[in-house]
Structure 1
Amino acid sequence: MSASESATTPPGSGPPASPGLRRGWVLALAVVSGFMLMLDVTAVNVALPSLRDDLDGSFTDMQWVIDSYTLTLAVFLLTAGSLADRLGRKRVFLVGFLLFTLASLLCGLAWDMTSLNVARAFQGIGGAVLFAVGPILIGQEYHGLERGKALGIFAGGSGMGIALGPMIGGAITDSTSWRWIFLVNVPLGIAAVLLGNRYAREWRDTRARSIDWLGLVVFSAALAMLVFAILRGESDGWGSARIIGLFAGSVILLAVFARIEAVRKDRAMLDLSLFRVRSFNGLATVSLLLTAAAMGAIFLMLAYMQNELGHSAWDTGLRSMPLYVAMLITGGVAGVLTARTSPRHLMVCAGVGVSAGLLLMAPFLEGDSDWTALIIPMTVLGLGFGFYNPTRAAMAISVVEPRKTGMSNGMSETFQQVGMVLGIAVMGAVYEARVSEHFGQSAVAERLGESAHDLGELVAVGQAGTVFESLPGGTAAAASEAASAAVASGLGDVMAVGGIAAAVGTLAAIVLIRRRDMYESTPEDLALFEDQRATPAPDSSLAS
Structure 2
Amino acid sequence: MTTTDQGPPAAPVPQTDKLDSAVLKIAAVVVLGSIMAILDTTVVNVALQALTLEFKTSLATIQWIATGYMLALATVIPVTGWASDRFGTKRLYLVAITLFLFGSMLAGLAWNIESLIAFRVVQGLGGGMLMPAGMTILTKTAGPHRVGRVMAVLGVPMLLGPIGGPILGGWLVDSVSWRWIFYINVPIGIVALLLAWRLLPSDKPEPAEKFDFPGMLMLSPGLAALIYGVSDIPSAGGVTEVSVWLPGLAGIALIAGFIVRALRVPNPLVDLTLFRNRTFTVAMITNTFFCIAFFGAMLLFPTYFVLVRGESALQAGLLLAPQGIGAMLTMPIAGRLADKIGPGKVVLPGMVLIVGSMVMFTIVGADTPYWQLLSALFVMGMGMGCTMMPIMTAALQTLTPKKVARASSAANIVQQTAGAIGSAVMSIILAGLLAGKFGVPTSEGQLAATAALMNPATHDQAAVLAADSFASTFIWAGVLIALCFVPALFLPRKPPTPSDTTDSDTPHPAPPILTH
Query: TM-score, normalization: structure 2?
Result: 0.88
Which of 3, 14, 18 is the matching residue for 2:6?
14
Superposed displacement of residue 204, structure 1: 5.0
Alignment of 1:134-173 (within 5 A): 134-143=134-143, 146-173=146-173
Counterpart-to-counterpart distance in 1, 2:358 and 2:82: 35
Whichever residue aligns with residue 173 of structure 1, its letter is V
Superposed displacement of residue 30, structure 1: 1.0
Match of 1:514 in 2: 492
Counterpart-to-counterpart distance in 2, 1:377 and 1:11: 51
- Number of residue pairs matched? 495
Match of 2:181 in 1: 181
Match of 2:313 in 1: 313
Greater Rg over alpha carbons, structure? 1
The alignment status of 1:404 with 2:438, answered yes or no, reads no
Match of 1:284 in 2: 284
Counterpart-to-counterpart distance in 2, 1:305 and 1:392: 30
Counterpart-to-counterpart distance in 2, 1:517 and 1:252: 39
The alignment status of 1:77 with 2:64, answered yes or no, reads no
Contact 1:395-1:518 within 8 A present in 2 as well: no
The alignment status of 1:199 with 2:199, answered yes or no, reads yes
The alignment status of 1:381 with 2:368, answered yes or no, reads no
Contact 2:430-2:473 within 8 A present in 1 as well: yes
Closer, same or farther: CA 432–86 of 1 in aligned 2, 3 Å: same
Match of 1:215 in 2: 215
Whichever residue aligns with residue 202 of structure 2, its letter is E
> 1:89-146: per-residue Cα shift (whole Å, max 9, x none)?
1111111111010000111011111111111112111111001111211112223665
SS of equivalent to 2:367: coil
Whichever residue aligns with residue 372 of structure 1, its letter is W
Alignment of 1:405-484 (within 5 A): 405-437=404-436, 439-440=437-438, 452-453=439-440, 457-458=444-445, 462-465=449-452, 468-469=455-456, 476=457, 479-484=458-463
Match of 1:392 in 2: 391
The alignment status of 1:491 with 2:470, answered yes or no, reads yes
Match of 1:261 in 2: 262
Contact 2:10-2:202 within 8 A present in 1 as well: no
Whichever residue aligns with residue 299 of structure 1, its letter is L
Match of 2:96 in 1: 96
Closer, same or farther: CA 16–30 of 1 in aligned 2, 3 Å: closer
> 1:458-511: per-residue Cα shift (whole Å, max 9, x none)?
556652247735xxxxxx2xx322221222211111111111111111211114
SS of equivalent to 2:372: helix
Segments of 5+ residues of structure 1 without an aligned counterpart are 1-8, 441-451, 470-475, 527-544
Query: TM-score, normalization: structure 1?
Result: 0.84
Counterpart-to-counterpart distance in 2, 1:178 and 1:372: 32
Alignment of 1:266-345 (within 5 A): 267-345=267-345
Whichever residue aligns with residue 62 of structure 1, its letter is I
Counterpart-to-counterpart distance in 2, 1:504 and 1:179: 41
Q: Which moved more, 1:402-411 or 1:183-192?
A: 183-192
Counterpart-to-counterpart distance in 2, 1:330 and 1:12: 40
Superposed displacement of residue 11, structure 1: 9.0
The alignment status of 1:35 with 2:35, answered yes or no, reads yes
Whichever residue aligns with residue 260 of structure 1, its letter is R
Match of 1:369 in 2: 368
Closer, same or farther: CA 501–523 of 1 in aligned 2, 3 Å: closer
Closer, same or farther: CA 371–38 of 1 in aligned 2, 3 Å: farther
Whichever residue aligns with residue 334 of structure 2, its letter is A
Whichever residue aligns with residue 514 of structure 1, its letter is P
Counterpart-to-counterpart distance in 2, 1:57 and 1:285: 40
Superposed displacement of residue 422, structure 1: 1.0
Counterpart-to-counterpart distance in 2, 1:75 and 1:482: 45
Whichever residue aligns with residue 265 of structure 2, its letter is R
| % identical aligned pairs | 26
RMSD after superposition? 2.8
Closer, same or farther: CA 524–227 of 1 in aligned 2, 3 Å: closer
Counterpart-to-counterpart distance in 1, 2:368 and 2:96: 45
